[in-house]
C-alpha cells in the first residue's frame, strides 16, 4: 500500500536556523506531491506542490522543496526560520491519474521555533 | 469568509449516540472530501464526492458512517452508534477541477474541522 514517511516527529530550532524536513513515499509511478502546514489553531493550508517539471519548487513564506525521484523523497527546506513558522507540517502524495480522492498524508512534523 | 466551513466545531457525545457533521465547501468547488485525523497522525481519507455523486469510500468508512451531498453543495457526515474509537477530528476539504493538469490540481482547501469526543 502507498505510504508517506516523515522521519522527524518534532523539530526544535532557534530563529534564523536552517530547516529541512524529510519526506519519503512508497509508490513507483508518477506522483503529485504536496506540503501542507497547520499553524496553531488554524486549518490545514497548502505550502507548496509538485506536479511535473523543475524538481525544485518554491512555495509561500520562503519555503521550497526538492523532488528526488530516485530517492522517492520530497524534502522541505527553508534557509532561515522565523518564530512564526512554528506549526505542524504534513507531506502528502497522490498517484497521478489514480484515485481522485485519496491524498495520502504523512504523520506530520511539529516544528517549534524558539525566538 | 469564503473558505470551507464546518460545524459543529466540537461535539461531545455518549457512546451509542448518533452524531452528524456538516460541511459547506467553497462555492465554486465541485469536489468535496472527508478526512479523519487522530492525535499524532496525519489526515486519513474517508470519502469523496464529485458534485452529488459519492465516487470513493475508504475501508475506514464502516457501515456506521454515512456521507451525503444531496444537491452537490453542502455535505453531511453521520456516525451512528458512536464508539470511543470514533473520537477524532473530522476534516472536510473541497477542490475544483478547473486549472492545473488533469485530473485536477489536487490542491485541497480544508476547513477547521469538527472534533468529536465520545465518552
> So what's the pLDDT on residue B100?
47
Helix ranges, chain A (H):
none
CB pairs under 8 A between A and B: 70
Least confident of A2-11, A88-97, B98-107: B98-107
Q: Would you say residue A101 has pLDDT above 70?
A: no
Q: Which residues contact A41 (CB under 8 A, 6 or more apart)?
A: none
Q: Tell me if A75 sits within 8 A of A21, measured CB to CB.
A: yes
Nearest residue of chain A to residue B6 (CA atoms)? A43
- β-pairing verdict for A10-14 and A109-114: parallel
At residue A70, what are phi and psi to the nearest 5 degrees?
-65, -25
Give me the count of residues in chain A.
115
Q: Chain A partners of B41 at a C-beta cutoff of 8 Å?
A: 107-108
Q: Is A100 in Cβ contact with B31 (below 8 Å)?
A: yes
Range A72-78 average pLDDT: 96
Within 13 Å of residue A46, how many CA atoms lie on the same side as its CB?
18
Residue to test with chain A: of B42, B51, B88, B113, most A Cβ within 10 A = B42
Interatomic CA distance for residues A42 and A24, integer angstroms: 26
CA dihedral A77, A7, B91, B87 (to 10 degrees): -150
Q: Is A44 in Cβ contact with B110 (below 8 Å)?
A: yes
Q: Could you report the per-residue pLDDT of A15-72, keeping only the tens digit for each?
A: 999 999 999 999 877 888 999 999 998 999 999 999 889 999 999 999 999 999 999 9
> So what's the pLDDT on residue A21?
97
* Site of grid cell 464526492: B49
Q: Would you say residue A87 has pLDDT above 90?
A: yes
Q: Tell me if A92 sits within 8 A of A60, measured CB to CB.
A: no
Nearest residue of chain A to residue B48 (CA atoms)? A101
Show the cell assigned to B30.
465541485
Q: Is A99 in Cβ contact with B56 (below 8 Å)?
A: yes
Q: Chain A partners of B104 at a C-beta cutoff of 8 Å?
A: 100
> So what's the pLDDT on residue A25?
94
Q: Chain B partners of A102 at a C-beta cutoff of 8 Å?
A: 45, 48, 56, 58
Beta bridge partners of B75: B23
**Pick from A43, A46, A99: which is nearest to B111 by CB?**
A43
> So what's the pLDDT on residue A107?
95
Nearest residue of chain B to residue A42 (CA atoms)? B112
Show the cell assigned to A39.
499553524
Interatomic CA distance for residues A104 and A25, integer angstroms: 9
CA dihedral B21, B26, B28, B32 (to 10 degrees): -40
Q: Tell me if A34 sits within 8 A of A51, measured CB to CB.
A: no
Q: Is A100 in Cβ contact with B50 (below 8 Å)?
A: yes
* Site of grid cell 489536487: B106
pLDDT tens, residue order, chain B (119 aa): 579 999 999 999 999 999 999 999 998 888 899 999 998 899 999 999 989 999 889 888 899 999 999 988 999 999 999 999 999 999 999 988 654 444 455 688 999 999 999 99
Amino acid at each position: 500500500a502507498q505510504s508517506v514517511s516523515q522521519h522527524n516527529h518534532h523539530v526544535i530550532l532557534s530563529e534564523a536556523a536552517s530547516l529541512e524536513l524529510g519526506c519519503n513515499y512508497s509508490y513507483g509511478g508518477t506522483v503529485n506531491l504536496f506540503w501542507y502546514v497547520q499553524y496553531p489553531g488554524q486549518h490545514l493550508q497548502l505550502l507548496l506542490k509538485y506536479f511535473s517539471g523543475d524538481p525544485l519548487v518554491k512555495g509561500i513564506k520562503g519555503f521550497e522543496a526538492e523532488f528526488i525521484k530516485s530517492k522517492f523523497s520530497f524534502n522541505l527546506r527553508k534557509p532561515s526560520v522565523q518564530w512564526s513558522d512554528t506549526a505542524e507540517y504534513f507531506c502528502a502524495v497522490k498517484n497521478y491519474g489514480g484515485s481522485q480522492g485519496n491524498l495520502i498524508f504523512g504523520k506530520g512534523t511539529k516544528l517549534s521555533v524558539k525566538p | 469568509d469564503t473558505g470551507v466551513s464546518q460545524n459543529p466545531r466540537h461535539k461531545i457525545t455518549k457512546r451509542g449516540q448518533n452524531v452528524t457533521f456538516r460541511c459547506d465547501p467553497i462555492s465554486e468547488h465541485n469536489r468535496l472530501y472527508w478526512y479523519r485525523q487522530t492525535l499524532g497522525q496525519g489526515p486519513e481519507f474517508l470519502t469523496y464526492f464529485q458534485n452529488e455523486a459519492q465516487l470513493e469510500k475508504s475501508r475506514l468508512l464502516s457501515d456506521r458512517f454515512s456521507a451525503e451531498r444531496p444537491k452537490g453543495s453542502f455535505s453531511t457526515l453521520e456516525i451512528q452508534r458512536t464508539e470511543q474509537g470514533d473520537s477524532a477530528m473530522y476534516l472536510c476539504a473541497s477542490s475544483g477541477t478547473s486549472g492545473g493538469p488533469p485530473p485536477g490540481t489536487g490542491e485541497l482547501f480544508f476547513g477547521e474541522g469538527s472534533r468529536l469526543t465520545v465518552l
